[in-house]
Amino acid sequence: MQQGTIGVTTENIFPIIKKFLYSDHEIFLREVIANAVDATQKLKTLASTGEFQGEMGDTSIRVGLNPKKKTLTISDRGCGMTAEEVQKYINQIAFSSAGEFLEKYKNQSNAIIGHFGLGFYSSFMVAHKVEIITRSWQEGTQAVHWSCDGSPQYTLEEATREDRGTDIILHIDEDSKEFLEENRVSELLRKYCRFLPVPIAFGKEKEWKDGKQVDTDKDRIINNTTPAWTLKPTELKEEDYDQFYRELYPMAEDPQFHIHLNVDYPFNLTGILYFPKIKSNLEVQKNKIQLYCNQVFVTDSVEGIVPDFMTLLHGVIDSPDIPLNVSRSYLQSDSNVKKISSHITKKVADRLEEIFKNDRKEYEQKWDHLKLFIEYGMLTEEKFYDRAEKFALFKNSDQKYFTFEEYKTLIEANQKDKNDKLVYLYATDAVTQYSFIETARSKGYDVLLMDGHLDVHFINHLETKFKDSHFARVDADVMERLIQKEDIRPSSLPAEKQEELKPVLESLLPEGANFFVTFEDLGPAAQPMIITQSEFMRRMKDMSALGGGMNFYGELPDSYSVVVNSEHPLVQRLQQQKESELSEAIAALNQSLSPVSQELDKLRETTKDKKEEEIEQAVKDQRAELQQKEEELKNRKKATLQEYGRENKLARQLVDLALLSNNMLKGESLSAFVRRSIEIMEK
């Protein structure tokens, strides 16, 4: 029997490992099994070079639980170790590298260290004692038994083991006893080992016998040793990819299509990425990609390794070249990771372009589910934008699809304004904005449907990209001003008549928002009254709703402009009605008002060159009195007009119709409108 002290400067490694690695204790199992896989693969390599000439036999790795002895044992039939090798690889190297690691990272957070695989010694996170019984593949070597309770003291002695290979026996700690439960171990094996290249046996296959589940004598193999990504694309059919997708995400809907990644220069990377059907809720979709290193599961959070928008994809990436055991901030600046990231971006763009070119119809069918992903990519990755501008699509209100280029060609002739700027008209809701879409189309314009989750941002982004163009929502203004071809004619209704008609209509507009009424001549064929919301204001509000940090706008009340088309026969009729029914009352009010206003004007004329303090008190008093009188009369006039408006069915009908085409007529007002309309028809 040999005894010795492990070459480590730290007094007692056991508590230190525990202290530093308290997050992610479960990775010990991955580490120990990964070593067993390595040992098995090593032996296969030795066999292929002819150094090892014995039988390979069954090389399954066995995971066994012994609840009585409180042990978890991992056995392999790999290359094993001689006593010298145990000395070298277990006693020297491993501990010294652990020591270095602790030296280097002692001031850093646990999160970082949790990702740092400590290899064999991570087993001390869950075990108070670890034993190794191992026998090398080489003829005539003696099996050895190594044992350590986590202090730097170990024992190494001769042992008996019939066969080559290694047993790692973990004496599980009281506070880690979850790792003695079959279900917990199953769960971990599934998480970390399900695609390892060597079969892992854990327990037996079960069968139903006499209404009970009983073990058969067949080993239960928990892993798929040749997952799809390790095969060549030529060896796989479409079904195989779908099948593998279901293996990864049993609950998910079938994906749209996949990309098989296979790179060996300048770095090694394999994998399969799937395009899921992307729904509007981005966050739940994210982070489904699994990262592997030689088929060992590492993580399913790939931020920093792939561009953010790629995290919407599903699938696996396997690379021995990604430095897995380091902190995330280091990862992001690693040049290999950057290359990998831009490579994947390029591959994804290639694939999309390929489908677009080869099968435009299929691509269009998938577009609604691809849109969010592609827009996200275009918004956040300049390089991806440059690729995707060739295959990103616009959909118009007829559900037809166009590339950016095609769409520009479509609208170029017709949708330029008088300043030669191209106007892209869009709607965010084909139903509620229907009447505006119709108006645009009746003028021969085309309307895009921009109803996606990111479209508010996307439109802003496109405006920075498209030259001499801008986007306008169909209901942002009257069509004549959205695409202004010529100067708009001012209303032929005299200003004082406009002032009289304003309160008539204003009295009928709903409370809680600001409405600004103006008059314009839009021609007898245009609608009598149109309510719009300015593009700028609405975008600011939309952005603040999406959390774009513009809360100021979010809190403002909604403001609308109300354009009254004074050339419309119904508006003219209303004007005439008002004249004939109200002219006497208004004339009377005007009669008392005009001398007051005249006197006030005169007074202002005489004092206009004087400073406020130079004006005599008597004059000031007179002025105040006149002002008050004028105000009173004006208010009375306004009240008369408002009252008239509230009683006027035509005015009410015009306002309600304008509100209705904007989806703003609701509840009680809506049913009043219906009743009134019926009454009108019955007449």
- What's the closest the beta carbon of residue 39 comes to ligand ADP, in angstroms? 3
* Residue 78, binding choice from Mg ion, ligand ADP, none, Cβ under 5 to 8 Å by partner class: ligand ADP
CA distance 135 to 80: 5
Rounded CA separation 629/627 (Å): 5
The number of residues that bind Mg ion (CB under 5 A) is 2
Q: How many residues bind ligand ADP (CB under 6 A)?
A: 15
One symbol per residue from 87 to 106: x for binding ligand ADP (CB under 6 A), - otherwise; what is it? --xx---x------------
Piece in contact with ligand ADP (CB under 6 A), picked from 9-17, 73-81, 323-331, 395-403: 73-81
**Choosing among Mg ion, ligand ADP, none, which partner's interface includes residue 28 (Cβ < 5 to 8 Å by kind)?**
none
Q: Smallest distance, Å, CB 119 to Mg ion?
A: 4
CA distances from 28 to 127, 192, 194, 249, 396 (A): 10, 10, 16, 25, 55
Binding mask 71-110 for Mg ion (x = CB under 5 A): ----------------------------------------
φ/ψ of 611, rounded to 5, equals: -80, 155
For residue 120, list its beta bridge partners.
none
Instruction: From the list ligand ADP, Mg ion, none, pick the one residue 553 interacts with, judged by a Cβ distance below 5 to 8 Å according to partner type.
Output: none
Pick the stretch among 43-51, 79-87, 115-123, 659-667 that binds Mg ion (CB under 5 A).
115-123
- For ligand ADP, give the closer residue by CB, 31 or 381: 31
Closest CA to 531 of 514, 544, 547, 545: 514
Q: What angle do CA 264, 243, 288 make, to 5 degrees?
A: 65
9-68: contacts with ligand ADP (CB under 6 A)? 31, 35-36, 39
CA distance linking residue 183 with residue 194, whole number of Å:
15
166 binds, among Mg ion, ligand ADP, none (CB under 5 to 8 A by kind): ligand ADP
Q: Is residue 119 involved in binding Mg ion (CB under 5 A)?
A: yes
Q: Which is nearer to ligand ADP, 35 or 533 (CB)?
A: 35
Side-chain-side CA neighbours of residue 498 (13 Å)? 17
Residue ranges in 288-307 that form contacts with ligand ADP under rule CB under 6 A: none
289 binds, among ligand ADP, Mg ion, none (CB under 5 to 8 A by kind): none
507 binds ligand ADP (CB under 6 A): no
Given 14, 52, 120, 154, the residue binding ligand ADP (CB under 6 A): 120
Closer Cβ to ligand ADP, 200 or 392, answer by number: 200
Give, in order, the Cα–Cα distances in Å from 569 to each of 182, 348, 540, 645: 84, 58, 36, 18
Which one of Mg ion, ligand ADP, none is in contact with 446 (Cβ closer than 5 to 8 A by kind)? none
Choose the binding region for ligand ADP from 71-79, 382-390, 398-406, 479-487 (rule: CB under 6 A).
71-79
* Binder among 26, 32, 35, 125 for Mg ion (CB under 5 A): 35
Rounded distance, CA 595 to CA 600, Å?
8
CA distance 410 to 414: 8
Nearest alpha carbon to residue 306 among 325, 286, 277: 286
Cβ–Cβ under 8 Å, residues 499 and 452? no
Q: Which residue is nearest to ligand ADP (CB)?
A: 119
Q: For the stretch 218-245, what's the b/e string if a residue is b when 16 or more beta carbons lie within 10 angstroms of its beta carbon?
A: ebeebbbeebbbbbeeeebeeeebeebb
Cis peptide before 266 (omega within 30 of 0): yes
Q: What angle do CA 658, 663, 668 make, to 5 degrees?
A: 90
The yes or no reply on residue 397 touching Mg ion (CB under 5 A) is no
Q: For residue 496, which of 387, 609, 575, 395 has the smallest C-alpha distance?
A: 575
Q: Which helix (H) or strand (E) holds 551?
A: helix 551-555
Q: Which residues, 6+ apart, have CB-to-CB distance to 507 below 8 Å?
A: 641, 642, 643, 645, 646
The nearest distance, CB 68 to ligand ADP, in angstroms, is 24
> Binding string, 138-177, against ligand ADP, x = CB under 6 A?
----------------------------x-----------
> Alpha carbon 251 to chain centroid distance?
20
Question: What residue ranges bind Mg ion (CB under 5 A)?
Answer: 35, 119
Q: Which residues bind ligand ADP (CB under 6 A)?
A: 31, 35-36, 39, 76, 78-81, 89-90, 94, 119-120, 166
